[in-house]
């Protein structure tokens, strides 16, 4: 939707008026919606267009008005609104701003005014954030957490003492969702920061296992950064502490979920380091924990259980180059009760396994099935895009049209 300079100026004046009516400075409103003050200043001066519906909704929420009240011609539907390419950020750009610098500088200066907090409402929002993370809906996740995370940060510091532990736990889980999303979008530096903040918030909450679940996210970030020594150190020290505390008699499901997830993390770390023996040892330990757990669970959004162990076994086999084993295992796994992300991940790894065997048709079929479940995973995951490039090279001039079209969608041309 094209917007004239005059329309931008009128819209900017409207934003400025609404902001002043609510007593916000530009810095305060920008912080509330997870944007920079300079961005908001450009909006109000009519320089920066705001045409995307999700950005309009974010701004309207920050001002406490409806999208239509902010801009009368905005559509009432959920369909995205077109805009100039310069106004289209990467999916997690807004979330990167959220984790840049100290989360709430005004608290340090004693300038933050405590406001009523509904912890149950925040709990629902964090649960929704994890639903979006598991569904790989990163643009919506980023738009949601942009204003939510600073809000929880302030609340965890200024709410009555009796509420702070719960709010800190919710803050930790919000940061864990961000860390998981950043890893999948190959933004591991941001994932490192988010995971570190999750650890701090979890410690403040007093929930010990949330600390270890956050360390799992930290190890994932190190793997994506290819800092395998740091990943191994983080996962090993956490796992050793848990096992010393609980021993072989652990029967608390949440503890078993975290322990099992850390074993899977170590299996991947060793596989990436081409240490076949240790990778398989960790896989067996994860299987043993899954047997003790006895069911598929989603404690701390780890989705640990017997089924996820076998999905990870496929990934490990692919990492080790054991394509036949990966295919044999992967084609037997029933993922119907798992998230879209887990189901799509298995299909992606099957595609990688078929590609290792240069079975172009089977690999393409698996990748297209994964794309149908979770387009963002296939379009942004490094391994998926590399697999598409490999398939194009294998097929050469005989590459089927569906493969060329997938390469275009994933920007994965050789």
Kindly state the tokens that stand for 166: 């719960």
* pLDDT value for 400: 92
Integer-rounded Cα radius of gyration of the chain: 23
Chain centroid offset of residue 213 CA: 14
CB atoms within 10 A of CB 270: 23
- Read off the tokens for 388: 């598409």
* 1.20.1050.10, 3.30.43.10, 1.25.40.10, 3.40.50.800: CATH of 119-304: 1.25.40.10
Distance separating alpha carbons of residues 366 and 369, to the nearest angstrom: 5
CATH number 3.40.190.10 is the correct assignment for the domain at 1-88: no
Q: What is the pLDDT of residue 53?
A: 57
d(CA 59, CA 33): 7
Helical H runs in 45-187?
53-63, 67-70, 93-98, 105-108, 119-134, 138-158, 161-184
Confidence (pTM):
0.74
CA–CA distance, 191 with 187 (Å, rounded to integer): 6
**28 CB-contact burial (10 Å; exposed 0-12 / middle 13-18 / buried 19+):** middle
Q: What is the pLDDT of residue 34?
A: 56
DSSP label of 103: S
CA dist 136 and 50 (Å) reads 25
CA distance 356 to 268: 18
User: CA-to-CA distance for 214 and 360, rounded, in angstroms?
Assistant: 38
Nearest of 69, 67, 65, 70 to residue 44 by alpha carbon: 70
Kindly list the averaged pLDDT for each block of 10 residues, start to end, along the chain of length 414.
72 91 86 68 82 70 84 53 39 81 71 72 95 87 89 88 93 96 90 96 95 97 91 96 81 93 96 88 96 94 94 93 94 88 93 93 95 87 88 88 92 78
Calpha distance 380→183 (Å, rounded): 11
Give kind and range of the element (H or E) at residue 175: helix 161-184
Q: Residue ranges of the domains in the chain?
A: 1-88, 119-304
Token pair listed for 129 = 């954030």
Q: What is the pLDDT of residue 172?
A: 97
pLDDT reported for residue 112: 58
Closest CA to 221 of 183, 256, 249: 183
Q: Please report, for residues 91, 214, 284, 322, 399, the alpha-carbon distance to residue 346 in angstroms, rounded to integers and kept in the order given.
A: 23, 24, 19, 15, 24
Instruction: Return d(Cα 135, Cα 132) in angstroms, integer.
Output: 5
């Amino acid at each position: 939707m094209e917007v004239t300079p005059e329309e931008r100026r009128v819209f900017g004046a409207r934003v400025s008026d609404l902001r002043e009516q609510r007593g916000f400075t530009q810095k305060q409103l920008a912080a509330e919606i997870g944007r920079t003050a300079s961005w908001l200043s450009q909006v109000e001066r009519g320089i920066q267009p705001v045409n995307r519906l999700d950005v309009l909704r974010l701004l309207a929420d920050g001002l406490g008005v409806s999208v239509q009240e902010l801009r009368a011609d905005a559509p009432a539907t959920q369909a995205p609104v077109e805009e100039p390419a310069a106004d289209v950020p990467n999916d997690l750009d807004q979330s990167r701003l959220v984790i840049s610098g100290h989360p709430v500088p005004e608290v340090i200066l004693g300038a933050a005014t405590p406001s009523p907090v509904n912890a149950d409402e925040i709990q629902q929002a964090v649960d929704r954030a994890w639903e979006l993370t598991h569904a790989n809906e990163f643009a919506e996740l980023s738009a949601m957490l942009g204003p939510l995370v600073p809000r929880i940060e302030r609340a965890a510091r200024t709410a009555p003492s009796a509420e702070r532990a719960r709010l800190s736990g919710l803050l930790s889980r919000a940061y864990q969702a961000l860390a998981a999303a950043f890893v999948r979008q190959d933004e591991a530096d941001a994932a490192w920061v988010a995971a570190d903040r999750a650890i701090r918030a979890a410690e403040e909450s007093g929930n010990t296992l949330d600390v270890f679940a956050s360390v799992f996210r930290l190890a994932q970030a190190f793997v994506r950064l290819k800092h395998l020594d740091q990943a191994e150190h983080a996962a090993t020290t956490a796992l050793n502490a848990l096992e010393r505390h609980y021993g072989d008699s652990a029967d608390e499901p949440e503890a078993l979920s975290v322990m099992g997830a850390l074993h899977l993390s170590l299996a991947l770390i060793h596989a990436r380091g081409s240490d076949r023996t240790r990778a398989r040892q960790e896989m067996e330990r994860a299987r043993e924990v899954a047997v003790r757990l006895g069911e598929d669970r989603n404690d701390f959004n780890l989705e640990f259980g017997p089924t996820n162990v076998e999905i990870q076994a496929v990934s490990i086999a692919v990492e080790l180059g054991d394509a036949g084993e990966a295919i044999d295992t992967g084609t037997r796994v029933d993922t119907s009760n798992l998230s879209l992300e887990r189901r799509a991940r298995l299909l992606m790894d099957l595609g990688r396994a078929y590609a290792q065997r240069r079975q172009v048709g089977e690999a393409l079929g698996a990748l297209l099935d994964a794309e149908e479940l979770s387009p963002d995973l296939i379009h942004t995951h490094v391994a998926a895009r590399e697999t598409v490039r490999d398939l194009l090279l294998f097929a050469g001039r005989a590459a089927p049209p569906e493969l060329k079209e997938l390469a275009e969608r994933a920007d994965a041309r050789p």
